[in-house]
Chain A
Amino acid sequence: MERPLTENIRPGEPPLGLREYVERGGYEGLRLALQRTPLEIQREVTESGLRGRGGAGFPTGQKWSFVPMGPDARRPKYLVVNGDEMEPGTMKDRLLLEGDPHALIESTIIASYAIEADAAYIFLRWEYSTAAERLKAALAEAYDAGYVGRAIMGSGYSLEVHLHRSAGRYMCGEESGLLNALEGKRAIPRSKPPFPQAVGLWGQPTVVQNVETICNLRHIIRHGAEWFKGLSLTGEGGTKLYGASGKVRHPGVWELPLGTPLGELLHDHAGGMLPGHRFRGLLPGGASTAFMTPDHLDVAMDFTAPQRVGTRLGTGTMIVLDDRTCPVGLMHNLLRFFARESCGYCTPCREGLPWVARTLAAIEAGDGRESDLDILDHHVRMIRAGHTFCPLAPGAMAPLESALVHFRQDFEQHIRMGACPWR
């Protein structure tokens, strides 16, 4: 099984320095890319079927196709690497950021070249300080070696790559909130349209791409679109970093073919549940996805199959719920997070999420009332995509909505007993 994204990563050891990285074929993708035109690269990426790994799964080549290209295009243009990774339960980008910084830098340059960007920003979550140090060191090496900067590798292409450490907010991961944060403004989202490809960083054409998405690029350039497509089990192309947290035997992150079935992830890679714990359900791709249950173990974890059972691949890193953990408590934990991270711009999220979080806290604390379930149902019904300004709040409702379906009896029991049965 090929594991291109993690091939250089040696857990517990520092990442490859520039020399070792180059010895292992590093910057070969960049060299090849610079021999082709940006539009050729775009075409290659479109053909590969690469879809965004940041949670939304938008086809990358298609995203690039909206960038104005050629000599008359508005300049400067920007590429932004989204390394904010604050989705609860998600730690896949961290592996790449800490494990193989040169791979990210090389692919960033390729992506920038493909959209003719003049500068690239790597927007990094504040807490990722190890990643920051390693990226800084790698970037310095890359500058020294002429992979970044003026006339890269003797080509006519120049690019500045900046590392920006976020001040820290979940909303900074949402691409337009990220752009505002990068501009030094409040990290509130922007209305779309216009999309960043037209009006992005400092009002200029911009592409925002997830770390994992980016890291695929050097391999696509080296090995071609067909090779990439062949990596996955289903037709969507590539590998995916999957992960698991919760009461499983081996929590972790693994690079596996895209489309690996859920059961295989849970049993073969996460090692099944810890002894004495029964599997009740899981949030497949971070906190803002809906529950999958024991009925769903044979769902192929690609972008389309989970949608058929009412959920999303999301970030591909699952949070596993067992029978010794209170689902109401889990929901309270998550909703408290979402309420805290609401940017406060639109009403349903700013006022609705804290209300939900308080209601869950009351239920969990034994102060639940019959009418509280109506309040929760009401919010799940009212806070939907399109009802709010950005996807944060609908994302926050996804786990709750499914929890109210799959674990309703647990909520009712809390209210009936006036206490949490797990305490």
Chain B
Amino acid sequence: MPRITINNQVHDIPWEGRNLLEVCLDLGYDVPYFCWHPAMHSVGACRQCAVKQFRDEHDTQGRIVMACMTPATDGTIISTDDPEAVAFRRSVAEWLMVNHPHDCPVCDEGGECHLQDMTVMAGHNYRRYRFTKRTFRNQDLGPFLNHEMNRCIQCYRCTRFYRGYAGGRDFEVLGWHDHVYFGRAADGPLESEFSGNLVEVCPTGVFTDKTLKEHYTRKWDLQTAPSICVHCGLGCNIIAGERYGVLRCIRSRYNDQVNGYFLCDRGRFGYGFVNDEERIRQPLIRNERGELEPCTIEEALWKTSSILRHGRAIGIGSPRASLEANFSLRYLVGEENFHHGMSGRSYQLVREMLAILQQGPAPAASMSAVAQGDAALLLGEDVTNVAPMLGLALRQNILRQPTREALRLPIHEYEDSAIHEAIQVGRGPLYIATPDVTRLDEETPNTYRAAPQDIARFGFAVAHAIDPAAPEVTALPAAVQETAARCAQDLLTSLHPVIVSGFTCGHPDVIHAAANVAWALRRRGKPADLCFTVPECNSLGVALLGGESLNAALQAVRDGTADTVVILENDIIRQMDVDLAEELLERAQHVIVLDHLPSPTTDYADIVLPAATFAESQGTLVNNEGRAQRFLPVFVPQGDVRDSWRWLGDIMVMNGQRGCETWCHLTGVMRLMAETVPALTGVTEITPPPDFRLVGQKIPRQPHRYSGRTAIHADRTVHEPRPPEEVDAPLAYSMEGYPGQPPASLIPRFWAPGWNSGQAVNRYQSHIGGPLKGDSGGVRLIEPPPEAAITYFDHIPDAFVPREDALLVMPDYLIFGSEPLSARSPAIAARTPRPYLGLAPKDMERLGAEEGQVVALLVTGTCYHLPVVARPALPRGVAMLPAGLGNMVALGLPQWGHIEVKREVWD
């Protein structure tokens, strides 16, 4: 254990190989920094973190070193408050401010600006520079980010993140000397799926959130709460901020196991649906004229409960609603009448994945495990579009092996640029088997383009090459066999391989193949992990809850065993074949829908109850690794919008249903759920109970500087209204409360004395890059026995045979557009492409279709008219249909589709 001396204080630090800046921050010393970033480490560019280092105790002179570039080895002696170091740091801040526009009052970063914080920390306050400042022209970088280059302090973090960490290519540093420019070669939207992180990576106001600008609010005026992203199955941790009833921004909430410091652009900019003008804010009842019209809460409850009392009701839950809401529905209609809201087909996939993860021996990889892994095989998944942050994790995974080599040269692990110079274009093994090209392809030569059956066969072949006891694939083309053998070898020589697969191929065989590979590796002694993508933010959660499929629901309505359906936060027309969904909705005598927004499903409803979104309610979601995490309400919504679980509870109360008194409080519901469903026992542990207090106080959602509290309602009342009461969480809708650091799962914002920006997170971590202090980081509900016996899947599908009369239509998942809630957000909509049909050139030739030409595609009982886009890599006989765009199917695919070529051409 190295022992080091800082300002004459002796400290034992837990391990070797870290730099002095991290160590100082861990120990609570305020050393200012800019270019160092906890995830991207040190480059020594800004020179802000200077400290004085002494050779030994006899050295009185010492010399200035950069803390971020100096190892904390045993016997290190430094001073952070040495006058020369202090003077130099002040001087660095002065230099940085030379060209800075000093426009804090009109800068969106103001109040949460690392540059402000560090300038104060470094002690610079008087301006001596008397010449003109340099100015830049700003760029239009698309709907997500605002660009104000004059504020740049040239810390190089943005390019290091965008290019080095996230693999982007269309953004760079340009220019020279004091005219260094960070931007694109030309105006245009940033192409990286992770561009929004520049908002938080940039220490000043160069990159700010353009969507926030639409309804700008300072950090100190935002009411915030810890939350979970609902836009894919990964469950990234977020902080959501509100003022005046409008959700204004999403920031990343650090979780070392899940999303680390970052978010994807769908998650960051997809929140607009919460503020959608079409939000359902009042209960609606269908009148005699067949129109939905507003009614009172009482009317809606009375009508609903009377329908349920007299009818034979089934419940249709939702993989995007919380466990608590789904459980409430299940309780309302009875376990035997509960449907999980997925089609039989989707559910089969999710259940297969769940079973594989439960059974073991390969556990589900957390995102940090993916990033820490050193080899990966992707079967069927274009992760960057389906589960974007997984793509970012994989980009770190493939650097692991070359980095390990570089460390032997020797280079310290934190010396970021040195490592990049040493590894150059070196990458660890990454094998991608998908129908079409993916964003990660640029990082690997090992890609295989194939239909789902062939992807599965490839996976099975890899497994067999790893462990001959795994079933063999016969009649595999030699080249594929060779790739499989190479892949097997690469996985076997890695230390921690990760096998990624999921739902997008719509094929259980692909998932089975992934399991076989992971298990074969386990048999050969490799700690392989599995990482599955799931369709929605709570797919695994509802799968743990159980229930019947949508197809069973349809059957029940057809049979007449049910005449009433209660649909929870689910547009079932997206979940299954349109004609089947429509039949279900048409046949049911009564359709009751709880949701946030009108959808094709609400069009069939007799009663619509306005359900709160993630930002307005509390609940538990289970992500793709089986991690249960809780989102807490950020604000109380306008109108009659209420949590789904509360609506359902009130219906139970109206009907005097047994046990309905539990529904007074969410905690009761949660407890009952944990007792009833053994798989969910852990969920009560995620957050402290509502009566949790620190020094007798709740945790305030509003910061201590929240302004205008007495004026906000002045148009209605001159009295300060009582803040809404919160009975379900230990958070208060108030600025009053415990001012210090709450338990990690309740952290509403990162903010510490002297640290107003999000960089304050270093004050909340147990150590830099480690877990938040005292954190569970969510609760993993699925931990398989590591020694579990292995029974390989042995059904190997036949090779894909292209058909002459039809094409296998595959869903082309898009980060922007395929997920319906985020797709409604204006910024995301602006990045969503127009619908198209991707065809292999061979098929275009065969069909006589040209690029841009419109074809009629008949698939899953629907006819789409779409312009053709050539997809040169696509295997013959396979077509790509953008998943879920507009009214397009997604989860029902792949299916055989028929094409008719039209003559018109869309521009």
Interface residues of A (CB under 8 A from B): 169, 186, 190-191, 193-194, 198-199, 202-203, 339-348, 350-355, 358, 362, 369, 371, 375, 378, 382, 384, 386-389
Contact A199 B418 (CB under 8 A): yes
Residue in A193, A344, A384 whose Cβ sees the most chain B Cβ within 10 Å: A344
Q: Does B63 contact A (CB under 8 A)?
A: yes
Find chain A residues with CB under 8 A from B180 CB: 344, 350
Q: Does B888 contact A (CB under 8 A)?
A: no
Q: Cα distance A350–B180 when bound, in Å? A: 9
Q: Cα distance A340–B177 when bound, in Å? A: 6
Minimal Cβ-Cβ distance residue in B for A180: B421
Minimal Cβ-Cβ distance residue in B for A205: B409
Minimal Cβ-Cβ distance residue in A for B90: A382
Contact A375 B47 (CB under 8 A): no
Find chain B residues with CB under 8 A from A384 CB: 64
B401 to chain A, nearest CB (A): 14
Find chain A residues with CB under 8 A from B421 CB: 190, 199, 203
Q: Cα distance A40–B63 when bound, in Å? A: 39
Q: Which 9 A-B pairs have the closest CB atoms?
A: A351-B95, A344-B180, A342-B177, A203-B424, A358-B131, A199-B422, A382-B91, A203-B422, A354-B178
A168 to chain B, nearest CB (A): 11
Contact A346 B409 (CB under 8 A): no
B23 to chain A, nearest CB (A): 19
Q: Cα distance A351–B178 when bound, in Å? A: 6
Q: Which of B807-829 contact A (CB under 8 A)?
A: none
Q: Does B495 contact A (CB under 8 A)?
A: no
Find chain B residues with CB under 8 A from A350 CB: 95, 154, 177-178, 180
Find chain B residues with CB under 8 A from A342 CB: 176-178
Contact B415 A347 (CB under 8 A): no
Find chain A residues with CB under 8 A from B423 CB: 203
Q: Cα distance A351–B48 when bound, in Å? A: 13
Find chain B residues with CB under 8 A from A382 CB: 87-88, 91
- Other than the given A347-B92, A351-B178, A354-B178, 7 more pairs (CB < 8 A) read A198-B409, A203-B424, A354-B177, A355-B98, A378-B91, A387-B50, A387-B64
Find chain B residues with CB under 8 A from A190 CB: 417-418, 421
Find chain B residues with CB under 8 A from A388 CB: 47
Q: Cα distance A186–B99 when bound, in Å? A: 23
Q: Cα distance A352–B411 when bound, in Å? A: 30
Q: Does B365 contact A (CB under 8 A)?
A: no
Given known A191-B415, A194-B422, A387-B64, contact A344–B91 (CB-CB < 8 A): no
Q: Does B439 contact A (CB under 8 A)?
A: no
Given known A191-B44, A191-B415, A344-B177, contact A355–B409 (CB-CB < 8 A): no
A186 to chain B, nearest CB (A): 7
Q: Cα distance A388–B129 when bound, in Å? A: 20
Q: Cα distance A352–B178 when bound, in Å? A: 9
Q: Indicate which residue in A191, A344, A371, A375 contacts B176 across the interface (CB closer than 8 Å).
A: A344
Given known A190-B417, A389-B44, A389-B45, contact A345–B131 (CB-CB < 8 A): no
Find chain A residues with CB under 8 A from B87 CB: 382
Q: What string of 1s and 0s marks CB contacts (under 8 Å) between B43-83 and chain A?
A: 11111101000000000000111000100000000000000
Q: Cα distance A191–B175 when bound, in Å? A: 21
B600 to chain A, nearest CB (A): 52
Given known A358-B131, A375-B128, contact A344–B95 (CB-CB < 8 A): no
Residue in B43, B69, B131, B421 whose Cβ sees the most chain A Cβ within 10 Å: B421
Contact B95 A371 (CB under 8 A): no
Contact A389 B47 (CB under 8 A): yes
Q: Which of B213-262 contact A (CB under 8 A)?
A: none
A335 to chain B, nearest CB (A): 12
A175 to chain B, nearest CB (A): 13
Q: What string of 1s and 0s marks CB contacts (under 8 Å) between B166-202 and chain A?
A: 0000000101111110000000000000000000000
Minimal Cβ-Cβ distance residue in A for B96: A347
Minimal Cβ-Cβ distance residue in A for B65: A386
Contact B65 A355 (CB under 8 A): no
A64 to chain B, nearest CB (A): 18
Contact B65 A345 (CB under 8 A): no
Q: Cα distance A350–B88 when bound, in Å? A: 15
Q: Cα distance A263–B595 when bound, in Å? A: 92
Q: Cα distance A193–B426 when bound, in Å? A: 20
Given known A351-B95, A382-B88, contact A194–B411 (CB-CB < 8 A): yes
Q: What string of 1s and 0s marks CB contacts (under 8 Å) between B555-588 and chain A?
A: 0000000000000000000000000000000000
Q: Does B162 contact A (CB under 8 A)?
A: no
Find chain B residues with CB under 8 A from A389 CB: 44-45, 47
Contact A341 B50 (CB under 8 A): no
Q: Does B836 contact A (CB under 8 A)?
A: no
Given known A342-B177, A386-B63, A386-B65, contact A351–B98 (CB-CB < 8 A): yes
Find chain A residues with CB under 8 A from B69 CB: 191
Find chain A residues with CB under 8 A from B95 CB: 347-348, 350-352, 355
Given known A352-B95, A386-B63, A386-B64, contact A346–B46 (CB-CB < 8 A): yes
Q: Indicate which residue in B88, B99, B130, B422 contacts A387 across the interface (CB closer than 8 Å).
A: B88
Q: Cα distance A273–B227 when bound, in Å? A: 78
A279 to chain B, nearest CB (A): 33
Q: Cα distance A378–B128 when bound, in Å? A: 11
Q: Cα distance A296–B44 when bound, in Å? A: 38
Q: Which of B463-477 contact A (CB under 8 A)?
A: none
Residue in A345, A347, A378 whose Cβ sees the most chain B Cβ within 10 Å: A347
Contact A345 B418 (CB under 8 A): no
B625 to chain A, nearest CB (A): 35
28 A-B contacts, Cβ less than 8 Å apart? A193-B411, A194-B410, A199-B411, A199-B422, A203-B422, A203-B426, A342-B176, A344-B175, A344-B180, A346-B44, A346-B47, A347-B46, A347-B92, A347-B95, A347-B154, A348-B47, A348-B95, A350-B180, A351-B96, A351-B98, A353-B177, A354-B177, A362-B131, A371-B128, A375-B128, A382-B88, A386-B63, A386-B64
B73 to chain A, nearest CB (A): 14
Minimal Cβ-Cβ distance residue in B for A187: B176
Find chain A residues with CB under 8 A from B175 CB: 344
Minimal Cβ-Cβ distance residue in B for A388: B47
Contact A347 B48 (CB under 8 A): yes
Q: Cα distance A38–B666 when bound, in Å? A: 78
Minimal Cβ-Cβ distance residue in A for B95: A351
Q: Cα distance A358–B129 when bound, in Å? A: 10
Q: Does B156 contact A (CB under 8 A)?
A: yes
B18 to chain A, nearest CB (A): 17
Given known A194-B409, A342-B177, contact A347–B47 (CB-CB < 8 A): yes
Find chain B residues with CB under 8 A from A387 CB: 47, 50, 64, 88
B145 to chain A, nearest CB (A): 23
Q: Cα distance A387–B63 when bound, in Å? A: 9
Q: Cα distance A186–B163 when bound, in Å? A: 14
Find chain B residues with CB under 8 A from A344 CB: 154, 175-180
Q: Cα distance A186–B415 when bound, in Å? A: 19
Q: Cα distance A358–B45 when bound, in Å? A: 23
Contact A191 B96 (CB under 8 A): no
B412 to chain A, nearest CB (A): 9
A149 to chain B, nearest CB (A): 26
Minimal Cβ-Cβ distance residue in B for A378: B91
Q: Cα distance A345–B156 when bound, in Å? A: 8
Find chain A residues with CB under 8 A from B92 CB: 347-348
Residue in A350, A362, A386, A387 whose Cβ sees the most chain B Cβ within 10 Å: A350
A111 to chain B, nearest CB (A): 23
Contact A186 B173 (CB under 8 A): yes
Given known A199-B411, A199-B418, contact A343–B46 (CB-CB < 8 A): no
Q: Cα distance A369–B131 when bound, in Å? A: 13
Find chain A residues with CB under 8 A from B128 CB: 371, 375
Q: Cα distance A315–B749 when bound, in Å? A: 56
Q: Cα distance A410–B624 when bound, in Å? A: 73
Minimal Cβ-Cβ distance residue in B for A358: B131
Find chain B residues with CB under 8 A from A345 CB: 45, 156
Minimal Cβ-Cβ distance residue in A for B48: A347
Q: Cα distance A293–B700 when bound, in Å? A: 69
Q: Cα distance A190–B47 when bound, in Å? A: 15
